[in-house]
Structure 1
């Protein structure tokens, strides 16, 4: 199911939008302010995000900027602000469209579907189906959806991705990620590999354990699950 994040501080409007989009095939997570929405962005993947511009605490413009620094999910602003400079500012921050209040729920639904279709059409076939690196945005996509990774895990996956079908030892990985001065336990590598496998879901088995040697990355290898040995790293 397609998941939408809605950030809107008006209780009645938030409830109306949530109910309407839910009835039309979307799973909606609703937030009453920018901080709550930002927490949701950091814990879940969304296919589209709807932001009210004027919210208490973190406003929609600030939240959009933070989202764009993290991923490329479509963002639509819901706003009563009709000034041209406001709209231009939103587009500069990376918004995909504006929906001016008051609006028809049917129009909102149509715009959501249109934006999603544009994003899907703009993806190469391999981006829709496999694990790929969007080099422009420095972000991994898995089946077309952004993969949420901490900085070190992103660097590790990038190292694997750039060296497919090659055994990378724990020592090589430590030198790449931490450098020669690292004096910790090499089991730290295994911990980060487990993080990657969890984040990649069905594609977690792209990273294969080579007993007593290290790991091999096999692009777009997909399986139902990991063996007990691979889960342990």
Structure 2
């Protein structure tokens, strides 16, 4: 079975980290640092997925993506430190399947890789592993069988939302729950944690909106 994953990343430390995590997940990662070497390598080795950095020596990621799409439908995940929407959209319009923004958790990348390959194979995750399970005592949250890499604050926030699916919690209610030392923080703090939660859950569920904003009030989570 083909388990090859091509990592195209010129940051040596980051590439090495991705190799370790992907190898531990059962994949066969291979690294390239120069964009101009990608097309030939993909033609020869037929990887299962390509993790492709946007900014590369030799040839940039967008150009590489365009050339790969001329002959291959291999799933491509763009990796970028650029946050401008135009770069993200341009990458997807060129045929990329998804993108991940730096900085990111290597666990998040592995979860995203698994989710994309599952979709590419046209199969759904096993029913037994579907849904969200939050265990505050063990500081663990599992979504569709994949463990989320959450901070303690993110875990408490997710636990509160998941305790009553469909209920709208105000930012004040969420702040009271996630900070038990009564520190002074702003409503924007909740928004930041929600953004991080959505990003980590999207690594498993794709673009599905798992936590919904209720304008002028707060947030709710649907049954997962």
Identify the TM-score tier after normalising by the shorter chain: 0.5 to 0.7
Please list, as runs of the form range in 1=range in 2, the aligned pairs for 1:204-223 lying within 5 A after superposition. none
State the alpha-carbon separation in 1 of the partners of residues 55 and 91 from structure 2. Answer: 12
Return 5+ residue gaps in structure 1 as ranges: 123-233
Shift of 1:68: 0.5
The answer for the alignment partner of 1:214 in structure 2 is none
User: What TM-score do the two structures reach when normalised by structure 2?
Assistant: 0.53
User: Which residue is 1:51 aligned to?
Assistant: 52
Distance apart, 1:20 and its partner CA = 1.2
Q: 1:33 deviation in Å?
A: 1.2
Partner of 1:18: 19
- Radius of gyration: which is bigger? 1
Residue 39 of structure 2 corresponds to 38
Where does structure 2 lack aligned partners over 5 or more consecutive residues? 124-224
Partner of 2:6: 5
Alpha-carbon distance in 2 for matches of 1:36, 1:22? 22
Give how far 1:36 is off. 2.1
Q: How does 1:119-130 map to 2 (within 5 A)?
A: 119-121=120-122
Q: Considering only aligned residues, what root-mean-square deviation do their CA atoms show, in Å?
A: 1.5
Correspondences of 1:55-204 after superposition (within 5 Å)? 55-121=56-122
Q: 1:123-166 CA deviation, whole Å, 9 max, x = no partner?
A: xxxxxxxxxxxxxxxxxxxxxxxxxxxxxxxxxxxxxxxxxxxx
Secondary structure class of the residue paired with 2:122: helix
Distance 1:30 1:39 in 2: 14
Distance in 1 separating the partners of 2:13 and 2:75: 24
What SS class does the counterpart of residue 6 from structure 1 fall into? strand
Residue 19 of structure 1, CA deviation: 1.3
SS at match of 1:70: coil
Instruction: Give, in angstroms, the shift of residue 59 of structure 1.
Output: 0.6
Q: Deviations over 1:186-217 (max 9, x none)?
A: xxxxxxxxxxxxxxxxxxxxxxxxxxxxxxxx
CA distance in 2 between counterparts of 1:66 and 1:37 reads 10
Count residues in correspondence: 123
4+ residue runs of structure 1 moved beyond 4 angstroms?
Answer: none
Distance (Å, rounded) in 2 between the aligned partners of 1:71 and 1:64? 10
